[in-house]
Amino acid sequence: MRLAHVVVSGVLLAGCGIGSDAAGTAKLCTGLAKDLAGAGLTGKPTLDQVRAAGKRLDARVRQPAAPALHEAVIQLHQRLHALEAAHRRGDTADVARLTTQARADAADAARACHLPVERLTGAAGPGGMEALP
């Protein structure tokens, strides 16, 4: 009975676009890399960088993708908005802590995309943003 429930749930999720949709995942990974370009995640991002990246991810959180990627994008999106709030408060310690966590979230998303983290953080070097199509 439990197996039947899991199978039915998987079929329903796939039908809703939240399953392991390879095309959706590829599209999200490409868009995510472009959205995070210039977000400042390799250093200390400015308020404007964080605000712009957070806004660009607003639509990405609703895109269909593999569950691990979908969760990573949601976490990164929330973290960027928290980072924006910390900037607005002038809380430099929180900005530093949230920046570190946002980098880890970007790394999680990169792993879910099977990409080097540099593709999502915009770091120069092999596999960096200049390598994007």
Q: 26-67: per-residue pLDDT in tens?
A: 888 888 989 888 899 888 999 999 999 999 999 888 887 788
3 state SS of 16: coil
pLDDT at 8: 34
Residue 97 has pLDDT above 80, yes or no: yes
